């Protein structure tokens, strides 16, 4: 993936020593992608005199969140920062289920810069779209796991394959002899691993999902040519990601909002069904699910079908 390159920065990033997590490992990697902290050296310590005297920016340690002072911790009493999501269809504000971790704070303030460094061809509108989608599809899980929010009240099995688990396994075992220098080296491996996952998700989003958005919007705005109800839309071809785009574009064009209509047409019902051709040329119909659910349809197909 083409990206910007810069000279190594002389600035120093500080974070805590000891056991590391995906949280600060990812936060350090993101900072190192920006021009200001490009490839910066890292000091890992809990000695506040060293962090204050030698580090230009400090994350996940220190008990302070202050963007002006470049301090990004989330462990302090009274910390309640959450990710503010775009307005829902009812125009109500919504926030992430978990509080922000240190990497969530770094992403809040530097995420757009990171995306632009990695994808310099994107325009401002695309940056905004990718910024929100990267939080929903990648960053929120990092925040939730680090702050102890479970994915569900009850789970049928445990999963040790995710990024946070893989980073955790890079720490020395309890009965393994090691020293601080060796742990710092393992931290660098963990940080690079986090960056690989971030870049992989970003690449698929930018080069796979984002190009599909214009086709979804065209189909949405042309849905009355498919059926006068405005509740059925058709794609030229199947296989492209469309659901999250549809939900967002309905809000953008005032569809499903009382008193709406806007430039999307005179009627405002939500889209219920999507038509598309599969790879064999067969036409298929798919019900649109309620946003935020996997199996609850806005309107189900008749049982006889």
Q: Is the pLDDT of residue 140 over 70?
A: yes
Q: Is the pLDDT of residue 241 over 60?
A: yes
Q: Is the pLDDT of residue 92 over 80?
A: no
DSSP state of 223: G
pLDDT score recorded for residue 220: 95
How many C-beta atoms surround the C-beta of residue 151 within 10 A?
Answer: 10
pLDDT tens for each residue of 242-256 = 999 999 999 889 898
Confidence of residue 277 (pLDDT cuts 50, 70, 90): confident
Mean pLDDT over 45-66 rounds to 98
3-state class (DSSP) for residue 63: coil
d(CA 214, CA 211): 7
Look at the alpha carbons of 54, 57, 58, 59 in this order and tell me if their dihedral is positive or negative: negative
275 DSSP β-pair partners: 234, 285
Record the pTM: 0.89
- Of 58, 22, 222, 48, whose CA–CA distance to 138 is shortest? 22
pLDDT score recorded for residue 260: 45
pLDDT score recorded for residue 186: 98
Buried/exposed code over 245-281 (b: 16+ C-beta within 10 A; e: otherwise): bbbbbbbebbbbbeebeeebbeebebbbbbbbeeeee
How many C-beta atoms surround the C-beta of residue 299 within 10 A?
Answer: 13
pLDDT score recorded for residue 88: 55
Q: Is the pLDDT of residue 89 over 90?
A: no
221 near 264, Cβ under 8 Å?
yes
Q: Is the pLDDT of residue 289 over 50?
A: yes
DSSP state of 90: T
Question: For a pLDDT cut of 70, what percent of the chain falls above it?
Answer: 94
Q: Please provide residue 71's backbone torsions phi and psi, each rounded to the nearest 5 degrees.
A: -125, 125
pLDDT tens for each residue of 145-173 = 999 998 888 888 888 999 999 999 999 99
pLDDT tens for each residue of 13-24 = 999 999 999 999
pLDDT score recorded for residue 264: 45
Confidence of residue 262 (pLDDT cuts 50, 70, 90): low
Which residues does 148 contact at the CB level (< 8 Å), separation at least 6? Answer: none
3-state class (DSSP) for residue 94: strand
pLDDT score recorded for residue 91: 52
pLDDT score recorded for residue 59: 98
Q: Is the pLDDT of residue 53 over 60?
A: yes
d(CA 144, CA 162): 13
Average pLDDT for the chain: 92
d(CA 65, CA 71): 5
């Amino acid at each position: 993936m083409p990206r910007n390159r810069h000279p190594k920065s002389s600035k120093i990033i500080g974070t805590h020593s000891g056991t590391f997590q995906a949280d600060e490992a990812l936060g350090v990697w993101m900072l190192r992608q920006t021009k200001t902290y490009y490839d910066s050296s890292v000091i890992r310590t809990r000695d506040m005199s060293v962090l204050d005297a030698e580090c230009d920016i400090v994350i996940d340690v220190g008990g302070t969140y202050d963007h002006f002072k470049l301090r990004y911790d989330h462990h302090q009493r009274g910390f309640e920062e959450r990710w503010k999501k775009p307005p829902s269809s009812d125009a109500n504000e919504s926030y992430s289920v978990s509080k922000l971790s240190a990497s969530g704070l770094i992403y809040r303030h530097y995420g757009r810069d990171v995306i632009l460094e990695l994808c310099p061809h994107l325009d401002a509108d695309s940056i905004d779209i990718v910024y929100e989608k990267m939080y929903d599809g990648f960053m929120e899980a990092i925040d939730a796991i680090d702050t102890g929010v479970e994915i569900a009240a009850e789970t049928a099995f445990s999963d040790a394959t995710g990024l946070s688990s893989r980073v955790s396994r890079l720490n020395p075992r309890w009965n393994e002899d090691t020293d601080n220098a060796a742990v710092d080296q393992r931290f660098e491996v963990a940080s690079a691993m986090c960056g690989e996952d971030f870049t992989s998700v970003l690449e698929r989003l930018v080069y796979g999902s984002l190009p599909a958005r214009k086709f979804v919007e065209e189909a949405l705005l042309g849905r009355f040519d498919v059926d006068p109800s405005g509740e059925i839309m058709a794609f030229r071809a199947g296989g492209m990601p469309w659901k999250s785009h549809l939900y967002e574009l309905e809000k953008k064009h005032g569809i499903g909002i009382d008193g709406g209509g806007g430039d999307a047409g005179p009627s405002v019902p939500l889209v219920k069904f999507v038509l598309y051709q599969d790879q064999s040329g067969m036409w298929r119909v798919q019900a649109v699910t309620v946003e935020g659910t996997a199996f609850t349809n806005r309107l189900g197909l008749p049982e006889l079908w």
